[in-house]
Amino acid sequence: MGLVRVNKAVGDGTASNLTVTGINTDDVYMVAFSNIFASANDDMQIRVTTSGTADSDSEYDFASKDLKTSGSFGNTYGTNNNNIDFSAGIGTSGTNSHNGILYLFNFNNSSEYSFITHENVTTRDDSSDELFGFQGGAAHTVAEANDGVQFFLTGGNNIDSGTVTLYKVV
């Protein structure tokens, strides 16, 4: 297995989202994101894109196991949401960056739902500095071709830094 870089987006503090597009085959794609910091403490979400535009419809189903150092495991889930929730909060500096990997399935197939698996980790942006990770999956329950993903912050804050890179798995 190998990876071919398709697209890359870098946060520079001027936008509240990072979008990578370029999915145009039926292959599996991977998205790696690293060192994402926000202009203010916030939660990160994702949406699929169609023709480069994020789909904000209420057709996202997701579930994940929350792994945390200071207590029992938890669950995050939702059906018919307008985004995929997969962050316990990212911060503005220090250890509060957000990092992880997504795998994207069926994105180019207009007869199937687009599926995502994810694993990601951050140190919570509150005073506890708790290590927090998510392992889970999601579906955009619309049979349409999607060409990428958009990362955005729920509070509308800007993404000050970080990199999101889309790869085709070959």
In angstroms, the CA 150 to CA 165 distance is: 11
The total number of residues shown for the chain amounts to 170
Name the pLDDT band for 15 (thresholds 50, 70, 90): very high
Q: What pTM, to 2 d.p., does this model score?
A: 0.93
Asked if residue 13 lies in contact with residue 140, where contact means CB atoms within 8 angstroms, the answer is no
pLDDT at 88 over 90: no
Residue ranges and CATH numbers for the domains of the chain are: 3-169 (2.60.120)
Amino acid in position 118: H
Any residues with CB less than 8 A from the CB of 73 and at least 6 apart, and which?
Answer: 65, 66, 67
Give tens-digit pLDDT for 121-137.
887 655 566 788 889 99
Task: Note the pLDDT of residue 60.
Answer: 98
Give tens-digit pLDDT for 108-119.
999 999 999 999
